[in-house]
């Protein structure tokens, strides 16, 4: 499949939705899911190490999946954390079989969860 990340280059990347790539996708998602648990249980130093490891895992994943060149890796590392996670999330969803339209629909859904606690306090 072709997927564009204008943040990294103008031409689309070719990524195969193979079982191998799907396994890599689930592994990096599992690491991110365990990060929250680590933050609750670890000491501050261990928590910081967990966050650093997660950022490295996500960055390595994107580099591997997109087969980035050195200049593209530099651009990737110039992104802020939110931009990196948004890019990686879009890549996860595409590898898992979602279309660009489905991803766009999900990203455009209103986030009402943050409003509920505020409404309860009124």
- Tally of domains in the chain: 1
Q: Which domain holds residue 83?
A: 2-120
Return all residues near 94 (Cβ < 8 A) that are at least 6 apart.
Answer: 1, 3, 15, 17, 100, 103
Q: What is the pTM assigned to this prediction?
A: 0.79
pLDDT tens column, 67-105: 999 999 999 999 999 999 999 999 999 999 888 888 888
How confident is the prediction for the chain on average, in pLDDT? 85
| Neighbouring C-beta atoms of residue 5, cutoff 10 Å | 19
Q: How many Å is the Cα radius of gyration of the chain?
A: 16
Report which secondary-structure segment, H or E, holds 14. Answer: strand 13-14
């Amino acid at each position: 499949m072709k997927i564009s990340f204008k943040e990294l280059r103008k031409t689309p990347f070719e990524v195969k939705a193979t079982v191998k790539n799907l396994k890599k996708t689930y592994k990096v998602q599992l690491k991110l899911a365990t990060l929250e648990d680590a933050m609750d249980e670890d000491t501050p130093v261990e928590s910081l190490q967990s966050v650093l490891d997660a950022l490295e895992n996500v960055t390595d994943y994107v580099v591997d999946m997109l087969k980035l060149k050195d200049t593209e890796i530099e651009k990737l590392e110039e992104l802020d954390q939110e931009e990196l996670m948004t890019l990686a999330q879009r890549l996860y969803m595409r590898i898992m079989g979602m279309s660009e339209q489905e991803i766009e629909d999900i990203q455009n859904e209103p986030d009402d969860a943050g409003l509920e606690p505020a409404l309860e306090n009124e």
